[in-house]
Each structure stands twice: as structure tokens, then as C-alpha cells.
């Protein structure tokens, strides 16, 4: 089972305990479910951004979460087309 962990040092990113290179294969149902979960994340973040202002404490965090979810959705969309 993959574990997600965070490292709070400067410049760190959220990462999974998987090899840095390689790929995984997901069946179409798993891709569909993952796309649905990412859509929920994007939707809720957009709702929260609607109530936030650029100067708010977590505004930049919300922008980063949205960007990561959209990037992940784009990855699985491209993978699903190939």
C-alpha cells in the first residue's frame, strides 16, 4: 500500500513512496473513479476560493491544491486516451 507523506522542509512537496521512475497501469473503472474524486476536490477547492481573497492565509494553498488536482486529472485523461 502506498503511503503519502509530507516533509515540511523548505521546497518540499507531497510525494508517494513509489519509485521515481516507471508507470502504473489503471483499468478504465479505476481511471473513472479517480477522475470523479479529482473532480470533487477541484469543485470544493473552487467553492473555497470563491469565499477567499488573495490576501487570505490559505489562498495560495488552495490555488496549489487546485493546480495539483487539475494536473492529475490531465494526466489520467491523457493516459486514458492512449
- Tell me: the pLDDT tens digits for 14-51? 444 444 566 778 888 999 999 999 999 999 999 999 99
**pLDDT band, residue 1 (cuts 50/70/90):** very low
Rounded Cα gap, residues 37 and 57, in angstroms: 26
For range 68-77, the mean pLDDT: 90
| Beta pairing partners, 4 | 16
CB of 2 closer than 8 Å to CB of 33: no
73 vs 78 pLDDT, higher one: 73
- The pLDDT score that the predictor gives to residue 46 is 96
Amino acid at each position: 500500500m502506498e503511503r503519502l507523506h509530507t516533509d515540511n522542509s523548505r521546497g518540499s512537496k507531497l510525494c508517494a513512496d513509489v519509485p521515481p521512475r516507471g508507470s502504473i497501469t489503471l483499468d478504465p473503472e479505476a481511471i473513472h473513479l479517480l477522475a470523479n474524486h479529482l473532480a470533487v476536490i477541484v469543485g470544493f477547492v473552487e467553492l473555497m476560493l470563491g469565499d477567499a481573497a488573495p490576501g487570505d492565509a490559505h489562498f495560495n494553498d488552495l490555488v496549489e491544491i487546485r493546480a495539483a488536482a487539475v494536473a492529475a486529472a490531465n494526466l489520467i485523461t491523457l493516459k486514458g486516451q492512449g
